[in-house]
């Protein structure tokens, strides 16, 4: 992901334009947010940009709304306007006038009606299954936009780190596929413009927070995609990056304020020491370097402690939520920002959309560090991702032969045993892989049976399961001996969207995961039931647990050993209660408590029981 630029270029980008008085005709080059809505909780602050606009002032000509304050920036080319929108003000076009002596300029700003019950939208719950995809590496539905005249990097499908051509049309084409798979929500990595000259496919170096990357589509096609998906019961989360932008962002040539981004005398990278937030012994300088250092050479660090920057990102996030009809947002590199600022950001989103999802990437290896952000010293923490469990999943399933003490399936038991530190373990996002890790199919030795066991665990343990695009059809790097971000973020081929296009092994795994996730959508017990688990017997390497709700239970048995294991019904009596008969979910066969059953090696089976 690294792109290296000469320091002199970076310093040039970080310098605001000269403050010479503009003598030509004034023009508004940008207004952000580009539009707004009546009836919003979020205070509207317009950022207007154009040559010399900061040297004038603005009044509103249309009655109904008012300018509460006009703020000048360090650059002479910006003004920030605090807008009061009283309750009951009608939607419509409002005319503003900028003036500087005899120079005058009128511009129009539009306020829209909100969709009914917009503020009451619901995000993810433990009944959902989230599908993570990288738009450029997903299906290419429109070959015409693979390269565009207005973007720096062109498509190069032969380059593992180049643009491959996936787009929004490819996602739209895949909605039948996702519905068949059992998906209820989609999280694409950033869809906004990343205009870096190389390795721009991932989208995390944003060049325009209000514009869909034209190699994916348009703002309108994105909104229509979200709407069509919603008609099928599939919601969308948008990936937002308030911690950093890209060096190709338009404002880098003319920063509004000198401290709009964190600026150092020489290039200074973050130390990535996120533990300094909760470490009672941490030196202040280490925390400052974590939160102020640049994430990468092409990713300038945003200064969220500047109130104008913070308000900018609150508004940009709310704008996409409202414009596109999203169920929530996923926040990249959450703990790399100032703690108070990112907490205020989250609280503002919660105020506007109390039931929507704010999913935060808090990548720590230990549960108590993740729980710090879920609980936090603030009233409104985000939904967090269970990275500690992710780290143990592949290790647990690889260790199948004579696992040592604390190895094999005990790893899963031990990690789940830490749930006492979380406010609500059922709201954790659980996953075995994502776009920043090795693919689980690779880490499990390209063993489809182990992959099935791992996904059975993800679908039946507590939390909200997330699967990574292509795993369900055994997507892998071109060369198993050459693994890395670009190699493993492989392109998804359109042929796999239908059963006829999948080869027998791909269809076998897809069918299994599809049946698993489709069943999960029907089982409130596995979605909301309390979890009861049993310590795996040393040497057996089988993990057994229950999900229990009212008088029903789901019993899960995952045998990661190399020998079949007989079910000891007496040992699991606590979970079974008074149940006498049950059904094996995947085969439909009826079983009786006490009958002789063996769980085959390298296999997961699960039963439902009523009358417990």
- What digits encode the pLDDT tens for the residues 464-501? 999 999 999 999 998 888 899 999 999 999 999 999 99
Is 361 among the catalytic positions?
A: yes
Q: Is 189 exposed, middle or buried (0-12, 13-18, 19+ CB in 10 A)?
A: buried
Q: CB under 8 Å to 222, separation ≥6 — which residues?
A: 168, 191, 212, 216, 324
pLDDT at 9 over 80: no
Could you report the per-residue pLDDT of 540-590, keeping only the tens digit for each? 999 999 999 999 999 999 999 999 999 999 999 999 999 999 999 999 999
pLDDT at 10 over 80: no
Confidence (pLDDT) at 378? 64
**19-41: buried (b, 16+ CB within 10 Å) or exposed (e) per residue?**
eeebeeebebeebbbeebbbebe
Which of the four pLDDT bands, split at 50, 70 and 90, describes residue 539?
A: confident
Report, as an integer, the average pLDDT of 212-235: 98
User: How far is Cα 313 from Cα 305, in angstroms, rounded to an integer?
Assistant: 12
Count CA atoms within 13 Å of residue 290 on its CB side: 21
- The C-alpha angle with vertex 511 and arms to 508 and 514, in degrees rounded to 5, equals 150
Handedness of CA 217, 220, 223, 229 (dihedral sign): negative
Structure tokens at 43: 């205070």
- DSSP labels for 77-124? TEEEEEEE--TTPPPEEEEEEEEETTEEEEEEEEEEPPPTTGGG----
Structure tokens at 76: 């002479």
User: How far is Cα 322 from Cα 350, in angstroms, rounded to an integer?
Assistant: 13
Judge whether 9-112 and 118-522 match in fold: no
Domain ranges across the chain: 9-112, 118-522, 527-610
Report, as an integer, the average pLDDT of 152-172: 97
Return the CATH number of the domain spanning residue range 9-112.
2.60.40.10
CATH topology (fold) of 527-610: Immunoglobulin-like (2.60.40)
Interstrand relation of 208-212 and 192-193 (parallel, antiparallel or unpaired): antiparallel
Structure tokens at 452: 């099935």
**Per the residue annotation, which of 208, 332, 339, 374 is the catalytic one?**
332
Q: Alpha helix (H) ranges present in 534-586?
A: 573-576
Q: What percent of the chain has pLDDT over 90?
A: 93
Specify the CATH class of 118-522 in words: alpha beta
**Per the residue annotation, which of 361, 419, 449, 472 is the catalytic one?**
361
Cβ 403 vs Cβ 541: under 8 Å: yes
Structure tokens at 99: 């003036």
Count CA atoms within 13 Å of residue 522 on its CB side: 7
- If you search the block for the tokens 């990343």, which residue do you land on? 194
Nearest to 361 by CA among 240, 199, 194: 240
pLDDT at 141 over 80: yes
Break the chain down into helix, strand, coil percent, rounded to 5. Answer: 30, 20, 45
Could you report the per-residue pLDDT of 293-321, keeping only the tens digit for each? 999 999 999 999 999 999 999 999 999 99
């Amino acid at each position: 992901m690294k792109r290296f630029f000469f320091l002199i270029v970076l310093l040039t980008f970080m310098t605001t334009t000269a403050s010479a008085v503009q003598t030509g005709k004034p023009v508004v080059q940008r207004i952000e947010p580009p539009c707004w809505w009546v009836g919003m909780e979020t205070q509207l602050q317009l950022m207007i940009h154009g040559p010399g606009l900061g040297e004038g002032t603005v009044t509103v000509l249309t009655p109904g709304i008012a300018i509460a304050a006009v703020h000048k920036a360090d650059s002479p080319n910006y003004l920030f306007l605090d807008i009061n929108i009283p309750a009951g003000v009608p939607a419509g076009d409002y005319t503003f006038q900028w003036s500087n002596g005899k120079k005058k300029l009128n511009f129009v700003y539009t306020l829209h009606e909100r969709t009914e019950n917009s503020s009451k939208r619901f995000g993810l719950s433990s009944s959902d299954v989230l599908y993570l995809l990288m738009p450029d590496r997903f299906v290419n539905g429109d070959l015409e936009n693979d390269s565009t005249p207005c973007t720096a990097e062109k498509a190069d499908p032969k380059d593992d780190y180049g643009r491959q051509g996936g787009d929004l049309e490819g996602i739209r084409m895949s909605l039948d596929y996702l519905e068949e798979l059992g998906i209820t929500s989609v999280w694409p990595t950033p869809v906004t413009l990343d205009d870096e000259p190389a390795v721009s496919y991932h989208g995390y170096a944003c060049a325009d927070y209000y514009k869909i990357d034209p190699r994916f589509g348009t703002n309108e096609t994105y909104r229509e995609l979200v709407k069509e998906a919603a008609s099928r019961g599939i919601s969308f989360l948008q990936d937002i990056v308030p911690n950093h932008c890209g060096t190709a962002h338009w404002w880098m040539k003319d920063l509004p304020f000198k401290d709009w981004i964190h600026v150092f005398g020489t290039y200074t990278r973050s130390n990535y020491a996120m533990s300094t937030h909760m470490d009672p012994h941490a030196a202040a300088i280490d925390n400052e370097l974590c939160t102020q250092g640049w994430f990468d050479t092409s990713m300038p660090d945003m200064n969220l402690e500047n109130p104008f920057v913070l308000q900018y990102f609150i508004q940009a996030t709310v704008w996409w939520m409202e414009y596109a009809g999203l169920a929530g947002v996923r926040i990249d590199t959450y703990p790399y920002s100032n703690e108070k600022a990112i907490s205020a950001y989250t609280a503002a989103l919660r105020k506007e959309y109390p039931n929507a999802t704010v999913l935060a990437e808090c990548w720590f290896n230990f549960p108590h560090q993740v729980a710090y952000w879920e609980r936090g010293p603030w009233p409104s923490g985000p939904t967090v991702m269970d990275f500690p469990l992710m780290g143990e999943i592949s290790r647990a399933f690889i260790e199948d032969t004579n696992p040592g003490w604390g190895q094999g399936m005990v790893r899963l038991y031990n990690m789940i045993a830490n749930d006492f530190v979380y406010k609500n373990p059922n709201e954790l996002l659980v996953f075995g892989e994502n776009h920043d890790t090795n693919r689980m199919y690779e880490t499990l030795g390209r063993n489809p049976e182990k992959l099935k066991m791992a996904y059975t665990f993800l679908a039946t343990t507590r939390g909200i399961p997330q699967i990574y695009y292509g795993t369900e059809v055994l997507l892998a790097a071109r060369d198993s001996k050459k693994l890395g971000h670009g190699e493993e973020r492989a392109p998804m081929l359109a042929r796999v969207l239908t059963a006829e296009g999948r080869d027998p092994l791909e269809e076998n795994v897809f069918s299994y995961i599809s049946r698993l996730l489709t069943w999960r959508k029907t089982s409130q017990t596995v979605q909301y039931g309390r979890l009861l688990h049993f310590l795996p017997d040393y040497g057996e390497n089988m993990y057994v647990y229950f999900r229990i709700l009212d008088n029903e239970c789901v019993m899960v048995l995952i045998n990661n050993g190399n020998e079949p294991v007989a079910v000891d019904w007496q040992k699991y009596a606590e979970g079974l209660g008074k149940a006498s008969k049950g059904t094996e979910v995947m085969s439909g066969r009826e079983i009786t408590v006490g009958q002789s059953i063996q769980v085959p090696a390298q296999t997961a089976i699960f039963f439902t029981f009523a009358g417990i």
